[in-house]
Amino acid sequence: MARSEHRSGSTLPVTPPTLADVAERAGVSRQTVSNAVNNPDLLRPDTLERVRQTIAELGYSPNRAARNLRTRTSSLIGLRFAPAQEGTANAAMDRFVHSLVEASEEVGYHVLLFPGDDDDPIGGYENLLRSTAVDAFVVTDTYLGNPQAAWLSQQRAPFVAFGRPWDDEGARHVWVDVDGAAGIALATQHLIDRGHTRIAWIGWRKDSPIGEDRRSGWVRTMHANGLPTTGLASRVEDVVHSGAEAAAVLLDESAPTAFVCASDTLAMGVLHTLWIRQLAPGKDIAVVGFDDSQVAQVFPVGLTSVRQPLEDVAVEIVRALRALLSHQPVETRGVLLEPTLAIRESS
């Protein structure tokens, strides 16, 4: 498309290419171009490729604002976001949000963050739902007793949960989660393979289904290798000083040679106790955390930690949301992804 010019030689801005321009250049109908942008699954591969190539050549950008007015959609996905708890090393949600933003943008959606209120856990959802400000939600608070998933289901609001419906076996909503038990089993077996037989567990309190799920990976792996677990476990709050105190008690009473922890926060507490007692991580006592946080990566000796595939979680969530919003069947109601183990000097 040529630029128009003033007689003085100055250049006028080029009119942005339109959907009609793309259709004419590609030799297809306007509806076909619209389908290539919004519903590519409806087109034959060769037609889709031809239209996409033309879009790239012309630099066409769909007018999403106009489309949203026609379809009464916002292209926004709501996500309740709470700051990290003080005294913890957990920044997994930051990495997940970044991954979710990237995965959403690839398919034309954007993420709208809104603050959470523990005194009114559904208030933010209700306000956005009433104002039709978002098309769907991603729910991350799936711990025991949290009402958000159940409330959204009752409202027939489209959403996907990051986390299993721990307290509702009959739940029908779509969820994506990471197999924490498998991750801890991987960590425990790693320590056993390095000759450890007295492996202690420091996890969260019993009312945390996520913590108990992770603990089951330790118990199962220890027993499968004929190793004892009695007297080697502690349940505490997920803060650094609690991990430090639990490690001190276990070292005095049970003499473990290694620790597996439900989080990097608790593992940092263990490392603090080892530092006070002048014990070298990885040489005198092995330590493994969970979440592969930035703290684990920059700690002087490096903290071995279970790494959640949060990028894959985000992709699966967005794939499920697209299916829900286009009224297509979701292939699997629950997707459970396998974590990996980032091995460093602490083990």
CATH number of this structure's domain 76-178+310-337, picked from the four choices 3.30.43.10, 3.40.605.10, 3.40.50.2300, 3.40.50.300: 3.40.50.2300
- At residue 88 the predicted structure's pLDDT band, cuts being 50, 70 and 90, is low
Which of the four CATH numbers 3.40.630.20, 3.40.50.10490, 3.40.50.2300, 3.10.50.40 does domain 180-307 have? 3.40.50.2300
**Is residue 311 scored above 60 in pLDDT?**
yes
Q: Tell me which of 51-60, 79-88, 107-116, 140-149 is least confident.
A: 79-88
Mean pLDDT, the chain, integer:
86
Q: Where in the chain is the domain with CATH 1.10.260.40?
A: 19-62
Higher pLDDT, 130 or 43: 43
pLDDT band at 6 (very low <50, low <70, confident <90, very high): very low
CATH 3.40.50.2300: which residues of the chain?
A: 76-178+310-337, 180-307
Q: Is the pLDDT of residue 15 over 80?
A: no
Per-residue pLDDT tens digits for 159-208: 999 998 887 777 788 999 999 999 999 999 999 999 999 999 999 999 88
Q: What is the pLDDT of residue 7?
A: 40
pLDDT at 87: 56
- Of 242 and 17, the one with more pLDDT: 242
Pick left, alpha or beta for residue 227 (phi over 0 → left; psi -120 to 50 → alpha; otherwise beta): beta
- pLDDT given for residue 62 in this prediction: 66
Per-residue pLDDT, 267: 96
pLDDT value for 68 = 45
Taking domain 19-62, whether its CATH number is 2.20.25.240 is answered by no
Q: Structure pTM?
A: 0.76
